[in-house]
Amino acid sequence: MPTFAEMVQAFLQELYEDQPVMASALGLTAYDDRLDDLSAAAFDARRRRSAAWLQRFDQVPEEGLDPEERIDRALIRSHLRGEQIMSDWEMWRRQPAVYLGPCLNGVFVLFLHRLRPEAELVEAAASRLRAVPKALEDGRRNLRADLTPRIYVERALAQVRAAVHYLAELLPAEARDPILRAELEDAATGAVLALEGFRDYLEWLVERARGSWAIGEERYSRLLQEKELLGYDARALRERGRAEYERVAAELRRLARLMADTDDWVAVLRQLNQDHPPTPDAMRAAYAEWTGRARAFLQERGLVTLPPGEECAVEPSPHFQRPVQAVASYHQPPPFSPSLRGHFFVPYPPDDASPDEVRKRLEGNCYAGIPTTAVHETYPGHHWHLVTAKANPRPVRHVLRTPFFTEGWALYAEQVMREQGFFADPRHELYQHEATLFRAARIVVDTSLHLGEMGFDEAVQFMMERANLPEPTARAEVGRYCSWPTQAASYLTGCLEILRLRERFLAARGLSGVEGLRRFHDALAASGSLPIALAERAVLGSPAG
């Protein structure tokens, strides 16, 4: 009978074989030349394997497992339960991004991290590009108009247009050697033709798509309780979001009165939105400046331990992501590589954006709001957390993670930096509170959309009026919520759970002050990106049954 460690390794090995693009992103270069199998038969096989693995891990007795193994077992079971909850929803019949994502990210991650010599990277990328036509043909076979929501197709159309530009014109330039560049161009030709054919198909599909994005109350609640291990359901979460919205709105009114002698914090924010970088490149420069300031503040205050050799590059967002990603994002260094270089992607507007759309994107990244976003994405937000977590010796914790931890941590990072005085300018403090209110609004909208109690346009209007978003950003945001149930609710939900855990940790250890905070931060970040209930057991030392 295999040991528990051998069982986990077999589970992970099967996962890598099944999802080679993910394996590449993890730093496992042996999978770089393969693309995921996106056929209907492959999805059916995944469902059956997932159910079989859940049964196997359910049958593993806790007796004989050490505390860390118990946490790993609980993590795997929660992940597999999440897959089972969504299996009958068959997202692969509804979501064109299921097919576009691996085709684009599969080549993008190779050149982002450059873990191999250029000739090997080009060979691997060419192999993946040659597999793109089959992957997109699988999409045409699998997607069903009666199940696919129109908004999914509209988002995919915007992305596929940018993807053609990326593969045809930008990707070949990643090869510095002229011969290798020509090889990449040749391999990209067939992929571009396939993308153009898929675009034509999506233009046909968008007129016929009539599916729903709403996964329903039962699925949403089960994801919260069985996958995320939270103690409340969808409606209770929505009420929590509403209560937090009102609490933070009161704080925003207080700050608006101090700054402008008015309760109308939205008007104050909209005025501040007008003071923004004049160009996307100037926006990137401002983000780079505040990333450096945040790192220096952490070093000066000793709030965390910085891993030696870590660095965070501040770069324009990838071209093919700009139509569907309206806000800043972060890409971690591959967990199974020695690299400690992360990438903070600044939300450049789409290449074909009108001057008005560019202006609105820049307004959404005004000077007063940039410090908060820099903290969230870099120090001590995503970048610091994920380079710290790389030291964890448990392989499964580098593969399975939840946004309720990663995004909860990044929002918590904003709050702790505010507590410690980083946002000394009242304008910056105002925007940090606004960022928290934005996450509360996300909870309300995400739950309401998936409970079927809010329509798309109503959600866009809510985010414009209640969360201070310009219309293009609000539309992109709501489209994302429709596509990724529970993710938008993870930020503030996770943050509140981490604050509760911090209180328990400091009390249990008899700690206080900066020393106590540093010990809490280092311990929690090093545990991985677990469901918060499991992270709590990891840092407090209690068993994870």
pLDDT tens digits, residue range 379-407? 999 999 999 999 999 999 999 999 999 99
Do 405 and 291 sit in the same domain of this protein?
yes
In a domain, 324, yes or no: yes
Question: Residues near 544 by Cβ (< 8 Å), separated by ≥ 6?
Answer: 67, 70, 71, 73, 74, 534, 537, 538
Q: How many other CB atoms sit within 10 Å of the CB of residue 189?
A: 12
Do 122 and 265 sit in the same domain of this protein?
no
| Residue listed under structure tokens 């074909």 | 352
pLDDT confidence band for 542 (50 / 70 / 90): low
Kindly report, residue by residue over 118-149, the tens digit of the pLDDT. Answer: 999 999 999 999 999 999 999 999 999 999 99
In a domain, 225, yes or no: no
Final residue in a domain of this structure, among 188, 206, 224: 206
Final residue in a domain of this structure, among 206, 226, 260: 206
pLDDT confidence band for 521 (50 / 70 / 90): very high
Do 106 and 246 sit in the same domain of this protein?
no
Do 458 and 337 sit in the same domain of this protein?
yes
Buried b / exposed e over 279-306, threshold 16 CB at 10 Å, is ebeebbebbbebbeebbebbeeeebbeb
Q: Is the pLDDT of residue 544 over 50?
A: no
Do 266 and 199 sit in the same domain of this protein?
no
Do 299 and 381 sit in the same domain of this protein?
yes
Q: Is the pLDDT of residue 52 over 50?
A: yes
Domain of residue 307, residue span: 234-540
Final residue in a domain of this structure, among 169, 186, 206: 206
Kindly report, residue by residue over 468-477, the tens digit of the pLDDT. Answer: 888 888 998 9
Q: Which run of H or E residues covers position 345?
A: strand 341-346
Do 279 and 331 sit in the same domain of this protein?
yes
In a domain, 229, yes or no: no
pLDDT confidence band for 339 (50 / 70 / 90): very high
Q: Which run of H or E residues covers position 330?
A: strand 329-331
In a domain, 215, yes or no: no
Total number of domains constituting the chain: 2
Do 163 and 261 sit in the same domain of this protein?
no
Percent of the chain past pLDDT 90, that is, above it, reads: 94
Do 168 and 259 sit in the same domain of this protein?
no
Q: What is the pLDDT of residue 128?
A: 99
Q: How many other CB atoms sit within 10 Å of the CB of residue 262?
A: 12
Tell me the C-alpha distance between 369 and 350, whole Å.
21
In a domain, 226, yes or no: no
Do 398 and 529 sit in the same domain of this protein?
yes
**CA 459 to the chain's CA centroid:** 21
In a domain, 400, yes or no: yes
Kindly report, residue by residue over 244-265, the tens digit of the pLDDT. Answer: 999 999 999 999 999 999 999 9
Task: Name the pTM for this structure.
Answer: 0.96
In a domain, 105, yes or no: yes
Task: Extract the tokens encoding 185.
Answer: 């161009």
Do 282 and 332 sit in the same domain of this protein?
yes
Q: Is the pLDDT of residue 236 over 60?
A: yes
Q: Is the pLDDT of residue 242 over 90?
A: yes
Do 422 and 485 sit in the same domain of this protein?
yes
In a domain, 220, yes or no: no
